[in-house]
């Protein structure tokens, strides 16, 4: 069964990773409560490879001390994604999280990459 996935890539200062994890944990709870099938947030661990391919830190425009956070949310299909996101955006918890995050930003929103993707191959659990 094909799914629909929203994907994100951001640069997060390593010193703020614990703050980001707290924010992402709260946001993930909201997405799952509103119907998302899966919510993943992953911090960079093995980001080398300069010269072999285009590394994530370069793509995320990381500054010294930053790491890459690669995230995705899984839905049944695009229509389901749109329905879930409408509920998420209307949830007052998200507005509160956004306002708090903007007071002391954890990451630079201008360096965030985002897109919606139709799955073309699915293997595993």
Residue 49 has a pLDDT of 67
pLDDT digits (tens, 9 = 90+) for 56-110: 999 999 999 999 999 999 999 999 999 999 999 999 999 999 898 888 899 988 8
- Strand-by-strand arrangement of the 66-75 sheet: 38-43, 66-75, 4-13, 113-118
The structure's pTM equals: 0.91
pLDDT at 2 over 70: yes
- How many Å from the N-terminal Cα to the C-terminal Cα in the chain? 12
User: Is the pLDDT reported for residue 54 higher than 90?
Assistant: no
Instruction: Give the CATH fold of the 15-118 domain.
Output: Alpha-Beta Plaits (3.30.70)
Over residues 7-18, the pLDDT tens digits come to 999 999 999 999
> What is residue 109's predicted lDDT score, i.e. its pLDDT?
87
pLDDT at residue 50 in the model: 66
C-alpha 88/C-alpha 102 separation (Å) is 18
In 3D space, the residue among 103, 104, 113, 107 whose CA is nearest the CA of residue 14 turns out to be 107
Report the C-alpha gap between 39 and 31 in whole angstroms. Answer: 7
Annotated domain spans of the chain:
15-118
Q: What's the farthest any 2 CA atoms get from each other in the chain?
A: 45
């Amino acid at each position: 069964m094909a799914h629909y996935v929203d994907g994100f890539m951001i640069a997060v200062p390593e010193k703020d990773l614990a703050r980001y994890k707290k924010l992402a944990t709260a946001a993930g709870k909201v997405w799952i409560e509103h119907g998302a099938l899966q919510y993943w947030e992953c911090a960079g661990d093995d980001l080398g490879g300069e010269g072999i391919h285009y590394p994530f830190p370069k793509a995320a425009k990381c500054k010294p001390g930053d790491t890459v956070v690669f995230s995705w949310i899984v839905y049944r299909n695009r229509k389901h994604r749109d329905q879930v996101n409408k509920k998420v955006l209307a949830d007052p918890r998200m507005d509160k999280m956004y306002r708090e995050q903007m007071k002391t930003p954890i990451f630079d929103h201008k360096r965030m990459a985002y897109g919606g993707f139709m799955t073309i191959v699915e293997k595993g659990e």
